[in-house]
Amino acid sequence: MLLIYVQRLTNRLGYSINVMMKHLLKTEFEITTSREAFDKHEGAKFGYCEDPVGDSLWLQPTSILFETSIQGQELHYHEYEGLPAIFPVYNRQSMLPFDVLAATFYMVSRYEEYLPHHTDVHGRFLAEESLAYQKGFLQTAIVDHWAIMLRNKILERYPDAEFGKRTFEFVQTVDIDSAFCYRNKGFFRTLIGLARDILQRKDFEAVAERFAVLTGKREDPYDTFEYLLDHKRSKLIFFVHLGDYGTYDKPTSYLNENFRDLLNHLADHAKMGIHPSYDVLEHPNKVAEQTNRLHNIIHRDIKRSRFHFLRLSMPDSYRTLIEAEVLNDYSMGFAEEPGFRAGTCSTFPFFDLTDNHETQLWIHPFCVMDTTLQKYKKMTPDEAMDAYRNLIDEIKSVEGKFSGIWHNQNLTDKKEWTGWRAVLEQTIDYAVR
């Protein structure tokens, strides 16, 4: 067992050690404030304290983990062994030239998102506001690399120290913003859609397709669910929008019997989660309401969530989930850029920085979304495939978890999405080969 000596244990410090040792390095550890117990311990150990501890391993601390306020930090970005690093320390006896626990805390707590920043038109924290984007390491799972770096330093001194094996995982997730393009919309929505196609868009191809679908001559183009189930090669999770109709919310009605049958069918073959509507940021009580709708349809406990439009605001969005007893969130990523928003591809517990405590909510980061590459980055299918390969290679290098977002309506293989089914299929083949 690894023993870690600290002079003073704070909530931030305990959380950082827990994330690093338990969740990233999968090792048994104990924290002690007793120097005598530390000195007597004969196994793997290191000190995280003001001064070196004899000839034992020692990591020089910075101040952030002993603070309770939220304030601008002097990060002093630099590189060590070819990797980005922050919170440098200068005593050569320190086993690393930067405070890896402070650096990890800064990234996974999303400290920078509590500081003053610009948002986009949807109120989202922008990728360009992040340190990782500004310094060019957004597509590096830096926290996982730091963890491996720390593990290797410990193993150099204590070759018999035991660490659990990290294993690569591949998770497919699908957001169901609208299950159907034409079917099951109701008379008035169908009429409005038809008028829009004729009068505004003059899209007569869409008019013909709409009539073909409604008369049963053609499948609804958004109904790609059997295709997705047929290509399930690993864990598959559907996140379902069950909110009400609005400017940015165009779901199929949760009262529609065909839609309810579809959700029960999907629940028999995959994991299910809620996709809280755009307006839950302003009306947080709707999370519980929409979660109950899904529970009442599929008769399963709903423990997973991803916010529609990725409208995630720290810490309020996560507090809303905790209150609704939805304890797994999959929203941690950027809409406009691929990469690792929290610096990691690993699951970790949410730390509420305002209340200064670790919570029971688990954060499952994703690293790329189909619309990010096609709409924001204007990539072709071939360029997108290169992006997926690079991200998979990066995650495999740290034996982490790849999680990406797809949308059922983007797998029509038509118009601007022609060729994107091949991207999905090649991504799966590349990841699980």
Sequential DSSP letters for 315-378: THHHHHHHHTT--EE---S-SSS-S-TTS-SS-EEEEETTTTEEEEEEE----EEHHIIIIIS-
Check: CB of residue 180 under 8 Å from CB of residue 189.
no
- CA 73 and chain centroid, separation: 24
CA distances from 9 to 2, 15, 31, 34, 58 (A): 16, 10, 8, 11, 16
CA angle 48, 90, 52 (to 5 degrees): 35
- CA 379 and chain centroid, separation: 22
Mean pLDDT, the chain cut into blocks of 10 residues (433 residues total):
97 98 98 97 97 96 98 96 97 97 98 97 98 98 98 98 96 97 62 51 58 73 96 94 95 95 98 98 97 98 98 98 98 98 98 98 98 98 98 98 98 95 97 90
Sequential DSSP letters for 366-431: --EEHHIIIIIS---HHHHHHHHHHHHHHHHHTT-EEEEEEEGGGGS--GGGTTHHHHHHHHHHHH
Cα separation, 353 vs 124, whole angstroms: 18
Phi, psi of 317 (to 5 degrees): -60, -40
Q: Which two tokens stand for residue 26?
A: 């999968």
Give the E-state strand segments of 195-247 in sequence order.
Answer: 235-240
Cα separation, 214 vs 220, whole angstroms: 8
What pLDDT does residue 206 have?
59
Cα separation, 372 vs 294, whole angstroms: 27
What pLDDT does residue 129 have?
98
Sequential DSSP letters for 64-119: GGG--S--------EEETTEEE-SB---TTSSSSB-HHHHHHHHHTTGGGTSS--B
What pLDDT does residue 18 have?
98
- SS3 state of residue 150: helix
Give the 3-state secondary structure percentages of the chain, helix then strand then coil, rounded to 5: 40, 15, 45
Residues making up the chain, counted from first to last? 433
